A and B are shown apart, each in its own frame.
Chain A
Amino acid sequence: MNPLVIYLVCVKATLTSFSGMGSLPIIREEFVVQRSVLTDRQLSTAIAVGRAGPGPHGLYMVAAGYFMAGIPGAAAGCAALMTPAFLIIVLLQRLGRYRENPRVRGAIRGITIAAGSLVLSAVVPLAQDAWSAALPVVVSVVSFAALLWTKIDTFWIVAFGAVAGVAGLWLGA
């Protein structure tokens, strides 16, 4: 996979989102569904890797880039994650006064809600891939509930998943 294409697709996905994970639906549509250069399992792994450490949630693009094209792909994903951030300097210089405009705020709210919905929609195929037995379903449900209703750090959710997976193999679950 050409790193330049990875960069351009990732920039497109980032430019149409207003949160770290908001870019996920377009990334999946482009790389998994249309181009078949990434599997759902690799994408899920990239998400887990991106959230295992510190840094922004959008880091999954670096891992996804790595799975598609090695180090150059990871660099392309990293550059694409960073590029749109600098648009804020143009906004600071020219458009700061519009940030309170009700139409602008409404558009952003609508896009953000739709992006959240598309993230939920993208969960379905990833769950179909991950839920090969009862244990992964339990891990997903516990992770979902813990992240939604507690302040637990994501790192511990990733660690919990790894320990549960190893325990499952050991116990033959």
Chain B
Amino acid sequence: MKHPPPWSVGALYLRLGNTTFGGGDPTMAALQRELVDNRGWLTAEQHGLAYGLARVTPGTNVLAYCAATGWMLAGWLGSLLGVSGVVVPSALLSVWLCGAYDAYGVNPWFGAAMSGVVAAAVGMMASSGVSIIHNRAKGRWLVPGLLFAVISVGAMRFGLLSPLKILALAGALGALYGDAPAGEASA
């Protein structure tokens, strides 16, 4: 496999990470196409290992994927450039948008637009929660998964447990129940 210079790695992640909308999966798909198919910088096996481990790394999957593939290509510097190339420009855009919110928040038209955007965000969050549960509560996990979901919502809404304790309990129960290997899993 080729070992590109770190700046080439950073430039590629900068370009793909900031021109692909829709979150992590489309970005990882674009990176796979470029890294494996077009440039031959990684093998399909290396991509598979990074993709699989990114799913079990805490935090944002796509950033873990960038850290892993950047490290495979150009060591720690490649990893740092890969992750920051995807995050920093988008973060700067977020800060600029927040600044606009601060500056124009009192304008009634801007305020009305933001109220609509906030209402849309409520729909986004609800769809995000449903989609997370729908993607994981499948096969032998359908019934226990839905049970986990209902109990978690109830425990949170009625203030029985903190979010951290709910997640820890869910992790412990999930480990006890177990899961099928990746090839046999339904999700």
Contacts and interface: CB of A to CB of B under 8 A. Distances in A.
B118 A154 contact: no
A121 B133 CA distance: 13
Contact of A139 (B22, B123, B156): B123
Interface centre among B109, B145, B162, B163 (most CB of A within 10 A): B163
Nearest to B49: A96
Contacts of B162: 29
A3 interface: no
Given A44-B118, A164-B116, A86 B67 contact: yes
A113 B167 CA distance: 9
B87 A140 contact: no
Contacts of B58: 14-18, 84, 87
A169 B175 CA distance: 51
Contacts of A46: 98
Contacts of A121: 152-153, 156-157
A140 B175 contact: no
Interface centre among B90, B173, B176 (most CB of A within 10 A): B90
Contact of B121 (A47, A100, A110): A47
Nearest to A142: B123
A145 B130 CA distance: 11
A23 to B, nearest CB: 8
Contact of B120 (A24, A26, A110, A157): A157
Contact of A113 (B71, B118, B148): B148
Contacts of B133: 113, 116-117, 120
Interface string A23-49: 111100100000000000100111111
Q: Name A's interface SS.
A: helix
A70 to B, nearest CB: 9
Contacts of B20: 54
Contact of B124 (A83, A115, A147): A147
Interface in B107-147: 108-109, 112-133, 136-137, 141, 145
A23 B108 CA distance: 32
A81 B61 CA distance: 11
Interface of B: 17-24, 27, 49-50, 52-68, 71-72, 76, 79, 83-84, 86-91, 93-95, 97-99, 101, 108-109, 112-133, 136-137, 141, 145, 148-150, 152-153, 156-157, 162-164, 166-167, 169-182, 185
Interface of A: 12, 14-26, 29, 41, 44-59, 62-63, 66-67, 71, 74, 77-78, 81-89, 91-92, 96, 99-100, 102-124, 126-127, 129-132, 135-137, 139-148, 153-155, 157-158, 160-166, 168-169
Given A26-B164, A54-B18, 4 more contacts: A44-B121, A47-B121, A51-B121, A71-B95
What 4 A-B pairs are tightest by C-beta distance, nearest first? A110-B174, A165-B116, A55-B90, A143-B123
